[in-house]
Chain A
Amino acid sequence: MTLRWFLLVSHALFCLGVFGMLTRRNAIAMLLSIELLLNAAGLNFVCFSRIFSNAQAQTIAFFVIALAACEAVVGLAIILSLSRHAKTVFADEAKLLSG
């Protein structure tokens, strides 16, 4: 019973993350949204680990946290160099890859 709630929370978090990713112009805000996505996934792992009594899933949850930290580091570094070169942190103003 409780599982449904947990899954609802994680779904809500995921949807918030997607929404934030798609709507925020600020790259830092987009990074924050990605954190929401990762944490929603992590929450899912933890929930299913509890229900199926499987410790492996919890290990993956840890990896997700570590991954999130790495992602933050790399993402912030990119944003830093973007702000240095393009004098902006708005993702839609950086369109060097425009075809």
Chain B
Amino acid sequence: MIALLFIPGVPLITAVLLLLFGRRIGKASAWLTVLALASTFFMTIALSDLVFAGNRIGFSWVWLSQASANWTLGLSVDGLSWVMLVVVTSIGTLIALYSIGYMHHDPRFSRFFAYLSLFCASMLGLVMADHFLLLYACWELVGLCSYLLISFWFEKSAAAEAGRKAFLTTRIGDTGMLLGILILFWSSGSLQLGNLAQVRQTLDPHVLTLISALLFFGAIGKSAQVPLHIWLPDAMEGPTPVSALIHAATMVAAGVYLVARTFPLFTPESLNLVLGIGLATHLFAATIALTMTDIKRVLAYSTISQLGLMMTALGLKAMPLALFHLCMHAFCKALLFLGAGSVIHGTHQQELEHLRGLRHFMPLTWITFLIAVLSLSGAPFLSGFWSKDAILLQAQHTMSWVFWSLVLGALLTATYLLRLYLRCFHGSPSSDAKHAHESPAIMTAPLVLLAIFAAGIGLVGSPWMHHLFFRIIGVHEMHEGIEIGMVALSAALVLGGFWLAWQVGFRRRQLLPASLRPIGQWLYQAAFHKYYVDEFYDKAILQPFYAATRAFSRFDQKVVDGAVNAAGSGTWRLGQWKERFDRLIVDRAVNGVATATRNLGLLPRLIQTGIVHPYLLMIVVAIVALAVGVIASQ
């Protein structure tokens, strides 16, 4: 099945083409991207027969042969990856289509689509990887694309900073994940994703717990779970289609996918960790979403909250349910973000105060947004209902306190979503809303398509279609039939949420008795300031870090630089002394020898006249003297 290479390959080649020749291709680059992504979608659909038969198809190459292990590189598709492929390619295609309308004024139009293609390529690679190394490489590529797209409007310093924050925060998680992969390799010698169940048999449970906790740490970063969730709301600085694609539908789902893919490695202890973090994130983010006033930020916190719900499902050992909710949430949230993008495009406002009564001016956006809100809130028989209900049911069977927490979470979800909806689309139109216009067809068409998905796609996991979704990913024993109690509970939760949103969120009624108001006010302020997590990180990590760097800088300047400068000037001074010694003593000695030699030479020079007579005279005198001497001695 070497043809699998086409699925990540086509968008990758498109991205390279657009990066190299984007300027020349111009507006056509968008259609190129849409075409590439649509082709991957159809290729994925073409695989359905093989996947439905329960096969794991793929291929791998050995790229490095060692005595201990063969390093392979390959792609494979099974039910789990196929489902993810469908989500990524379908939503990716629709969002690329939508972006044509949303981005058409942007000067870096083709660059945007290049990043979008690259993102889809790496996400597809991540989903199809059959080896931890390839998965990790794609994981980092996804992070890179996220960085590039969040800070796409890098002229705004907020966008540039948000990109940096996202990149660094997810890197913290990635470090944990890399450690997990390394420990896995050291302890088992295999990084194949296909045989994790066998690997589990051979490993010590404590090691397994460590590995799975570290892998989950990577997922915390990518899926914006509680300690590392801070990057996702800031990531809303990116263009709205990016928020829809990356920060709602696909990339943040990578963490959930990672946990689902490596699910055999998770021990009860690490699953409890997953459950705890997931549940905390679910409620924590939901309460913040209640107080946010920026349309995209509400959706961002909603995303975090829903990802927490998926993690909770994983922690409840209900991996298929988590994946199901992932898919349902992806469609709903993509639709919500695209709807929000449409609102922003039409009004150039994203603060809720400036948005009122838009339903008269943007009817298609209104209807599709309403469908997404209801679906994600879990209104019976829409997509979100099926997935959320299944998770609630699972929680009810295992742990009651988790169940009641999830009920509270579902109520909060319905409340903040309906609050957002009511404040955007109902009431008397604001001045900005009056000038709003419906978005062009290229933007509303994806909205309508996604609305159909958001309303109906959940049926594939419902008893009415015999749990087709779960059979695709290899789970056959499912609870048959619909529990009337659950339907009633869901309906009650949506209605309760609606009532709360109507009273408090929309009509600003004060429901609390006067004695409790200070507490309510205090809670509201805490949630409104996102529980001061950013401030806490600033005080607890960044400020000490800055202080340390300043101290080190001072140390550098005073001590290290001082030492270096002292050594330098000492050497210089020593050199001066040596120069003086050279000049005064060595040079003088040398010159003195030369001068003395020359001056000595002056003496014999006197008799070397060159005239022959003095020489002769000397000879004569010498002979006479010799003769006299000889005679005298006799």
Cβ-based interface call for A51 (8 A):
no
Q: A18-B620, A22-B617, A22-B620 are in contact. Are A91 and B608 (CB under 8 A)?
A: no
**For A46, what are the chain B residues with a Cβ–Cβ distance below 8 Å?**
none
Q: How many chain A residues touch the partner (CB < 8 A)?
A: 12
CB–CB A95/B613 < 8 A: no
Q: How far is the CA of A91 from the CA of B613 in the complex (A)?
A: 8
CB–CB B612/A22 < 8 A: no
CB–CB B611/A21 < 8 A: no
Interface residues on B, range: 10 to 19
Q: A18-B620, A99-B604 are in contact. Are A91 and B611 (CB under 8 A)?
A: yes
Cβ-based interface call for B609 (8 A):
yes
**Closest residue of A by beta carbon distance from B608:** A99
Cβ-based interface call for A1 (8 A):
no
CB–CB B620/A95 < 8 A: no
- Looking at chain B's contact residues, the main secondary structure is helix
B606-634 interface (Cβ within 8 A of A): 607-613, 616-617, 620
**For B397, what are the chain A residues with a Cβ–Cβ distance below 8 Å?**
none
Q: Which of B604, B611, B616, B617 contacts A95 (CB 8 A)?
A: B611
**For B607, what are the chain A residues with a Cβ–Cβ distance below 8 Å?**
99
Cβ-based interface call for B605 (8 A):
yes
**For A97, what are the chain B residues with a Cβ–Cβ distance below 8 Å?**
608, 610
Q: How far is the CA of A99 from the CA of B602 in the complex (A)?
A: 9
Q: Which of A22, A94, A98, A99 contacts B616 (CB 8 A)?
A: A22
**For A95, what are the chain B residues with a Cβ–Cβ distance below 8 Å?**
609-611
**Closest residue of A by beta carbon distance from B605:** A99
CB–CB B620/A99 < 8 A: no
B80: min CB distance to chain A, Å: 108
Q: How far is the CA of A30 from the CA of B607 in the complex (A)?
A: 21
A51-99 interface (Cβ within 8 A of B): 91-92, 94-99
A82: min CB distance to chain B, Å: 11
Q: List 22 A-B contacts (CB under 8 A).
A: A18-B620, A21-B613, A21-B616, A21-B620, A22-B617, A22-B620, A91-B612, A91-B613, A92-B613, A94-B610, A94-B612, A95-B609, A95-B610, A95-B611, A96-B610, A97-B608, A97-B610, A98-B609, A98-B610, A98-B611, A99-B605, A99-B607
**For B609, what are the chain A residues with a Cβ–Cβ distance below 8 Å?**
95, 98-99
B104: min CB distance to chain A, Å: 101
**Closest residue of A by beta carbon distance from B615:** A97
**For B605, what are the chain A residues with a Cβ–Cβ distance below 8 Å?**
99
Q: A99-B604, A99-B605 are in contact. Are A22 and B610 (CB under 8 A)?
A: no
Q: How far is the CA of A95 from the CA of B613 in the complex (A)?
A: 11
Q: A18-B620, A22-B620 are in contact. Are A99 and B613 (CB under 8 A)?
A: no
Q: How far is the CA of A97 from the CA of B613 in the complex (A)?
A: 13
**For B612, what are the chain A residues with a Cβ–Cβ distance below 8 Å?**
30, 91-92, 94
CB–CB B611/A92 < 8 A: yes
CB–CB A98/B613 < 8 A: no
